[in-house]
Each structure stands twice: as structure tokens, then as C-alpha cells.
Amino acid sequence: MKRGFYIIMAAQFFSSLADNALLIASIALLLQLEGPAWLTPLLKFFFTVSYVLLAAFVGAFADSMPKGRVMFVTNTIKIAGCALLFFHDLVSIPGLAHYWFVLVAYAVVGLGAAAYSPAKYGILTELLPAEQLVVANGWIEGLTVASIVLGTVLGGVLIGPGVSAALLAFDAPFIETGVDTPAEAAILLISVVYFVAALFNLAIPDTGARYARQERHPVRLVVDFAHCFTTLWKDKLGQISLAVTTLFWGAGATLQFIVLKWAEQHLNLPLSQGAILQGVSAIGIAVGAVVAARIIPLKRAVAVLPVGILMGLFVMTLIGVTWMPLVYGLLILVGALAGFFVVPMNALLQHRGHVLLSAGHSIAVQNFNENVSILVMLALYALMIRMDLHINVIIVMFGAFVALAMFLVMRWNAANHRADPNLDRHIGEAKH
């Protein structure tokens, strides 16, 4: 791998580490402000909505300048959103409760993440040949999941009574931070992690890739995005990989909150310990991602589809376990199955998007679909919580949906290959 790839990985690691730690700290801030329970999944909803609303524009932005510069600018927006969280008790807007301001501030962080994503993935197709994309995605996904593990654990540790008490007791000479609660102390440290990511952003080399002058008129950008959207969905390989990644990210975002609620109701664990369980499942994703990168070549990417059905079935078994060693093992297994099937699908989608479109535009289409899925599934989950459904009922419904959806995708893929038995010849072909 080229040296620039490792710098990209470092930048992605620290930015994702901060994102995931900030989610836990923001949940703690909502609890501190006594917001209703159904608002918690809406944190991720507000974070994600920018991916959907800006999908037509972020691809062009990512392709308008070197990707490292894009990543630096957008990481700075994340820092601004993080800073806004400190002003939740200073705003006085009629009809806007303090906890709603937390959601708005977190949405600004999501704005930065939405614009960051096409650059962080698009640069891989600029820097590396097609045959290295599965390996590169394995490393990126493995490291991203490592950041999820450490980020969720870091968030949980920072809001825990022992560490938060030490942070609040720390008195820096000549510096008045105004930090008064465990959540605020955690957010302050997380902002430092975003600054570290920004330093790595500045060190990312220019790949030399240049695209035609990007359109700036909003209507034309929307029309261009619609063309890219239909192009990728009409491609027989692109549509399968897009369907799988869309399902995975929607399910994965919802599972984050299901695990927290399940830990609270089923295992009687507080938020700080429930966050650690999130990290345990992410360990499995990292393992599955690395294994897939080593044994699944790009040409055989669609062979992993049945693993998605197994993941859905194993999720449903969570309702029957309380013994902690078995809880850890099951969460790692579910994560490993998820990582194993999503990495080849993600690499295939990136490859087809690069061949048919451009790096930034294809990732923007991917983000739009995946984040519409996240919004819909989080909204449904919030509705289930509002309806006071038991967490075990939600888990069974969730696992059954994932298994059924993956079975239908397999049938869809089989129909595509019956129509064109040599369909896989397009995998690995060069950009036209």
C-alpha cells in the first residue's frame, strides 16, 4: 500500500473515534437535560439527515478540490458542531427546549460528516488500483470499527463516575473552561480528538486526480445527482451491492440504539456500560472485515450474501441470553457476520461507482441511499419506543426483517445472473 493510504487511515480513525465518543456524550447530555427517551435515537437521525439533504451537492464538492483539503474543511465543521454543544444552556429561543438545541448542534457535526464521507472513500479509488480495493476496504472498515469500539468505550469511560469526577476536579492554570458536568467534560476532550484528525487531514498527499469543473447551480446539481442515482441502480452489479450496503447501514445504526436499550432493560446496565457492549459488537465487525479482506476477492464479492441472513437470525437470539460471557460472544459473532458480508459489497459498489461515474459522485449516491435507510429505520425505532414496545419484541422484529431482506436480495441477484450468466465479467474492468 502507498504511504498516503496509511495517512488516510489515521485521519479516518481519529475523526470516527471522535464521532462515536461524541454520540455517547451527547446521549449523556440529553439524559442530563431530562429529555424524553424517544429523543435518543433522534440524535443519530439529526446527524444523518445532512447525508440525505446534501447528497446532490457533496459529491461535486468532494471532486472540486484535492480530497485531503476537503477532509480538513469538513472536519473543521465537525469541530464547530462539537463546540456548539457547550451552548445548550445559553440559548433562549422560544419553543426550543435545551435538549432540542443539543440535537441541532449534533446535526452540525452530521453536516461535516456528510461532506467528509465522499472524500474519505473517493480518495481510495484515486489512490489504489481496483484489485486492491477489497483489501483497502478491509483495512478502512477494520480501522473504522476499531474507532467505533474505542470511541464508544471512550465515551462510556468519560461519562463514568470515576473518570468524569477526575476531569471535573482538574484545574488548569489560567484557563476557565466553564465545564460543569460529566457530559460537558467528555465533549471538551472529544473536541481535542477532532483537532488531531485535522492534523492528519493536512498531511494527506494530493493524488493528482482532477475532474471537470464541477457544476454549481443547485438545480443542475440535483439533475446530475438524479442521473448518477439512476445509473448506479440500473447497473446489475451496482444495484445488488447498493441494496446490501443500504440495508446494512440502516440496520447497523438502529442496532446501536437497540443494544443500549437492551443493555438497560434486559441486563440492567447503565449507559456507560451499555456503550462498552456496543464496542464489543464492533470488535466482531473488525474481525469479519479483516477476514473478508484476506479471503474474498472482488470477483467473488456476491458470494457473501447468505451471511447477511445468518446475521439477522443470530440477532434474534439476544433475547434469550443474560450470562455475560455468552452476551459478549454473541455480540462479537453478530458483528463478525456483518463485517464479513459488508466489506466485499462495499468494495464492489465503490468499483462499479468509479467505473460508471466519478469517485465523489458515486460515494454521494451510496451515502444518500444508506442514510435514507438509517433515517427510516431510526424513525421506526423511535416510534416503537414511543409506543412502549418491549425491547425483546423490537429485537425479534429487527432480526426477522434483516434476514428476510437479505433473502430477497439473494433472489434478486440470482435473477440478474439468470438473465446474464456472464455478469461477473464486469467486475474488475477499467473505467471507460
Mean pLDDT estimate for the chain = 82
Checking if the pLDDT of 309 tops 90, the result is yes
Report yes or no on 46 lying in a domain: yes
Q: Are 412 and 287 in contact (CB under 8 A)?
A: no
Q: What is the pTM of this model?
A: 0.75
Q: Which cell numbers hold the place of 377?
A: 429505520
Average pLDDT over residues 270-280: 80
Tens-digit pLDDT profile for residues 92-136: 554 455 777 888 889 999 988 888 877 777 777 777 776 677 677
Helix (H, G, I), strand (E, B) or coil at 430: coil
Residue type, 410: M
pLDDT score at 314: 94
Residue 180 has φ and ψ, to the nearest 5°, of -125, -15
What angle (nearest 5°) sits at the alpha carbon of residue 404, between those of residues 403 and 409?
Answer: 100
Total number of domains constituting the chain: 1
For the stretch 184-214, pLDDT in tens is: 888 888 999 999 999 998 888 776 666 556 5
- 22 vs 8, which has greater pLDDT? 22
pLDDT of 70 over the 50 cut: yes
DSSP type of residue 173: T
Q: Count, in order, helices (H) and strands (E) of the chain.
A: 15, 0
- Tell me the pLDDT tens digit for each residue of 339-369: 888 888 888 887 788 788 765 677 778 878 9
Burial of 169 (C-beta count, 10 Å sphere; 0-12/13-18/19+): exposed
3-state secondary structure of 66: coil
Measured at the CA of 281, the angle between CA 240 and CA 319, to 5 degrees, comes to 95
pLDDT mean over 265-289? 82
- When mean pLDDT is compared across 79-88, 119-128, 174-183, 292-301, the lowest value belongs to 174-183
Stronger pLDDT, 365 or 76, i.e. the higher one: 76
Judged against a pLDDT cut of 70, whether residue 301 lies above it is answered with yes
Least confidently predicted of 33-37, 241-245, 260-264, 310-314? 33-37
Beta carbons of 259 and 277 less than 8 angstroms apart: yes
Which runs of consecutive H residues, i.e. helices, occur in 33-97? 40-53, 55-62, 67-84
C-alpha cell at 72: 480538513
Asked, for residue 73, whether it belongs to a domain, the answer is yes
Instruction: Give the other-Cβ count within 10 Å of 39's Cβ.
Output: 22
What are the tens digits of pLDDT across the range 159-177?
A: 877 777 777 666 544 444 5
Could you tell me the residue range of the domain that residue 188 belongs to?
3-205+212-426
> What is the pLDDT at residue 174?
41
- Average pLDDT of the residues in 288-294: 83
CA torsion 21→23→24→28, rounded to 10°? 130
Assess if residue 278 is contained within a domain: yes
Domain CATH for 302: 1.20.1250.20
CB 20 within 8 A of CB 155: yes
Residue 48 and residue 375 in contact, taking contact as beta carbons nearer than 8 Å? yes
Q: Does a structural domain hold residue 50? A: yes
| Radius of gyration, alpha carbons of the chain | 21
Q: Can you tell me the mean pLDDT for 357-382?
A: 82
Segment 288-298 mean pLDDT: 83
Residue 432 domain flag: no
In a domain, 431, yes or no: no
**Pick from 248, 249, 280: which is nearest to 263 by CA?**
280
Residue 20 pLDDT greater than 70, yes or no = yes
Distance CA 200, CA 120 (A): 12
**What's the pLDDT tens digit per position in 314-345?**
999 999 998 999 999 999 999 899 888 888 88
